Structures are given as C-alpha cells and as structure tokens.
Chain A
C-alpha cells in the first residue's frame, strides 16, 4: 500500500480546477517529471469534465465525485469514483486524429486524451458507482541521478550591504530544483542576510514546491525584520502567484533595479 490522498468535489465544473491542483501536488510529491505531471492533470481534467457534463447533466448540484491518488513504487494511480449512470469510457469510439478539418467534429477528444496521456486506464462499475483508474508508470531510472546532485548546488548569490543579498535562480523551479533554491535562501538567512532580493527574470516556471520555498523564506526573513523582494517575474508566474494570493504577500517589482531602489532604508 503506497501513499494515498483523497479529495471529494461537488459535481460542478468550477471545482475541477481544485481537483487538478490536488492531483498535480500528489504527482509532484510522487516525483513524476513535469511532463508526466501535466499528463495526469489533463487526464483528470478531461475525465471529471466528462462526468460532470454528461454523467450528471440532469442531476442536482449536490452530487459528489471522489478523487484518490496512490503512489506505489513504480506506479502513480488516480482513481475517480462517481455515482452517475454507468459509463465505460473504454468502449467509447475514439475520434480519428488524421481526419481532415471539414469532416471533423469539434469535440469528443477528452477520452482520447485520457487514453493517450496515461499508461493504463481501467474502468469498473461496482455498487452503483463508476470507478475510473488512471495509471502513470514511474520510470526506474528516475530516483537516482539528478536531484541528489542538484541539492549540492546553489543558485548565484551577490552580497550587498545592510544584510542584503541578490539571488538569481533560473530555469524551472519544480520539485527537482526547489531544494536548490531552499538551500540558497537558507544559507543567506543563516548568515543574517534577511533582505533577500530574488531576481526571477530567468525563471520560466514555478511549481508549488518553489512557492513553498519562497513563502518559508519570507517567514524567516520577516522574523529577522527583513523581507523577500521579487522582481522580473514573467507574466505566467505572476498569474501563478496571483492564483494563490501570494502577490499580496511579497513585494514585487518589474526589475531588480526597481526592487533595490524601492527599499533604500533597509538597515
């Protein structure tokens, strides 16, 4: 028995996003790579959307759908349980991706994607419930090489006067690289540098693991009467910060110069 997480949502489209976030977090915790995490997110989105739009189209809004994730050694399994009428997506006629535009119908792609994106899909009808299992295999090689080495490294740091430092992370801040950011920021905080200017201009993507590192550094910096100041964020990263409300938490500036200029009285 692996690590199991469970979430119940109402059968409403507005709740599908919460289920996606839940699955992304579990898949990242299971160390799936970014591509596999995306596939899991999309498969769950498509499956839940189908269930809500078709399975519950005549039902009230109080129906519940349960989403469970299980991480075993080499498998990450998402199970979706609902009590809408029996529907086996594996018997559904898939659309043909080679079909030309004129004869193509706009929809019908959800189930096709689920089957393409996941390694295994299983369906069962038990006790008046649909059980849909979406399985992603975890490749053997993944646990060993990169992350351990990455944790040894840190991102570039430039020290300034007045307990300040500029940190310049780059690339993707996901579960592989967030430990590196954590180590970089922690080292500065331990040295008493509580004004941390994180130049995000070279960061392409931030996952929840990266957000956690920033928030934890923000707390520690505030304890030491400093702050974490972000600058140069790409629009999609601003989006992510806004989604979780972190734009209210951090000082955010268009670029590093503006960030430094805005905090002249730090001491």
Chain B
C-alpha cells in the first residue's frame, strides 16, 4: 500500500487524511474520494497532507479540479499541514494563493 486516505467528519467538515505518496498511478483515487463527498453535497473539505511525503503534479491536478467543483457549490477545499517539500511545490505552481493552507488540522477545520 502506497497511499491511504482516511475520511472522517469533524464539525460538519469532511476531513481527508492522506498518507503516503501521491503520483500519477494513484492521484485519481484521491480525486475519487473527494468526489464521493462532493456527490453527497459535503463540500466543506479539509485535506490533511501531513502524512504525504511526496506529491507529483498529478495530485495537484486532482486537487485543483475538485477545488473548482466544490467552490461552485459554495464549499471549499482547504489544506492542512503540508510538508516543506509539498508546500514548496504548491508555491511553485502558485497554488498557495488559490488554496487556503493552515498549519494544523484543527485550524483548517475551525476556519469553516
């Protein structure tokens, strides 16, 4: 197992804790997990990336796609605790201005 996604609900926010490596072989699984929540109308989402040691652009692509989707429904996808490396990649892509990024899961959930 290379990537694991734990989904839970905290104060009516969907929390996705991702652990492992997100790349082109499994980014669609991440997108599908987020889509399932969006399908049910749960569009306030926090993606906890503290356990992600590596993310390629395939993962970013899914995140941007879902962000656009939930924003249309009045929701948001917010990021908690990305590693230095993942944060650097988010910044390189200019995604740090598009996603709200919080240092901890609690702050990200509390921001809704």
Distance A101 CA – B2 CA, assembled complex (angstroms):
30
| Stretch of B33-41, B52-60, B100-108 that contacts chain A | B52-60
| Nearest CB of A to B72, in Å | 10
Taking a contact as CB atoms under 8 Å apart, the answer to whether A113 and B61 are in contact is no
Q: A235-B51, A236-B51 are in contact. Are A49 and B85 (CB under 8 A)?
A: no
Q: Which of B60-112 contact A (CB under 8 A)?
A: 60-62, 64-65, 67-68, 71, 84-85, 88-89, 92-95, 97-98
Is residue A155 contacting chain B, with contact meaning CB distance below 8 A? no
The 0/1 profile, CB within 8 Å of B marked 1, for residues 101-119 of chain A is 1101011011011001100
In the complex formed, the residue of A with least CB distance to B88 is: A35
> Contact: B25 with A17, CB < 8 Å?
yes
Given known A16-B23, A17-B23, A101-B67, contact A41–B58 (CB-CB < 8 A) = no
- The A interface, classified by DSSP as helix, strand, loop or mixed, is helix
- The reply on A252 being an interface residue by CB < 8 A is no
- Contact indicator B64/A106 (Cβ below 8 Å): yes
Interface size class of A (residues with CB under 8 A): 35 or more
Chain A residues, Cβ within 8 Å of B58: 49
Residue among A45, A99, A100, A116 with the highest chain B CB neighbour number at 10 A: A45
Q: Which residues A88-139 have CB closer than 8 A to chain B? A: 96-102, 104, 106-107, 109-110, 112-113, 116-117
User: Which residue of chain B is the closest to A49 with respect to CB atoms?
Assistant: B24
Q: Which of A8-35 contact B (CB under 8 A)?
A: 13-14, 16-17, 20, 35
Whether A242 sits at the interface, judged by CB under 8 Å, is: yes
Given known pairs A14-B25, A49-B58, the reply for A242 and B53 (CB within 8 Å) is no
Instruction: Check A35 against B25 for contact (C-beta < 8 Å).
Output: no
Q: Is A214 an interface residue (CB 8 A)?
A: no
5 closest A-B pairs by beta carbon, nearest first, are A97-B94, A109-B57, A49-B24, A106-B65, A106-B61
